[in-house]
Structure 1
Amino acid sequence: MKTQRPMATEEEHRVVPFRPRNGPARRVTEGGSPPVQLHRREPPTPDLSRYEQPREAPDDFRHRILANIAAIAFTIALTAIGIWLAMSIADLRKTQDCILTGRRDCARIITETYTP
């Protein structure tokens, strides 16, 4: 279905000037456009030295790297265990669904091939 919109006339259109919240209010010239600012100075970056705290000892980078490696290994092991657990639960659910439908050949039979 086609949406029907009323036809807009020229008197209904209106341009609303945009004024930034943080910047100073600029006057609009008679032409309708704001004056051009060629060079705008950025405010100075605040000094963060007042938030620094004196350190008792320098950082031990070797300890930090070993701790990061241990954390990554733990995360990988936890992810692998989670994937294994999800696959085991899915396999058990398939077996349980098979048994609940009344079938008798639901157990997985593992065969070993013998090659002389």
Structure 2
Amino acid sequence: MKNQQPIPSEEEHRVLEFRPRTKSSAAARRGLAGQAPGKNAPLEPNDLSRYERNRDEPDDFRHRMLANVAAFAFTVALTAVAIWLAMSIADLRKTQDCVLTGRRDCARISTPHF
């Protein structure tokens, strides 16, 4: 059998020139990125300044701590449910394996303690 390999073309093996970013090229890109295609009116710049808080505002530590406590309680509850579910599935698998092997004494029988 003959080995078939693709024929390389000139476009496939092209070396791209690396141009480091400079302040002037970044500003030019920002100016071009802020304009809508086909319109002359510039849009908002693509930065995160609209999400920044005013530095004069004090932090709300009480709200932050309540949010942290709520997140921690949710994480603990989720972990507890996951552990309970994993143990239940393991117990069911063990019982199912016992039944499928043909044994009859697979079920747990709880006896009262006097």
Q: TM-score, normalised by structure 1?
A: 0.50
Q: Larger relative CO (CA 8 A, sep 6+): 1 or 2?
A: 2
Aligned AA (2:79): T
One-letter amino acid matched to 1:64: R
Identity of aligned residues (%): 73
Report the equivalent of 2:58. 58
Q: Shift in Å at residue 95 of structure 1?
A: 0.2
Deviations 1:54-99 (A, max 9, x none): 5174321101000000100100110011011000000000000000
Whether 1:97 aligns to 2:85 is no
**1-side partners of 2:58 and 2:94: how far apart?**
57
Which sections of structure 1, spanning at least 5 residues, go unmatched?
1-50
Question: 1: CA distance between counterparts of 2:57 and 2:111?
Answer: 63
CA distance in 2, matches of 1:89, 1:68: 31
Partner amino acid, structure 1, of 2:64: R
Match status 1:73 vs 2:82: no
Tell me which amino acid in the other structure corresponds to 1:111. Answer: T
More helix by share: 2
**Partner residue of 1:108?**
108
C-alpha spacing 1:62/1:83, structure 2 compared with 1 (3 Å): same
Unaligned ranges ≥5, structure 2: 1-48
Alignment RMSD, CA only?
1.8
Q: How far apart are residue 111 of structure 1 and its match?
A: 1.0
In structure 2, how many angstroms separate the alpha carbons of the residues matched to 1:105 and 1:54? 66
Give CA deviations for 1:42-61 in whole Å, capped at 9, x if unaligned: xxxxxxxxx8x551743211
Q: Cα–Cα, structure 1 residues 103 and 112, in superposed 2: closer, same or farther, change >3 Å? A: same
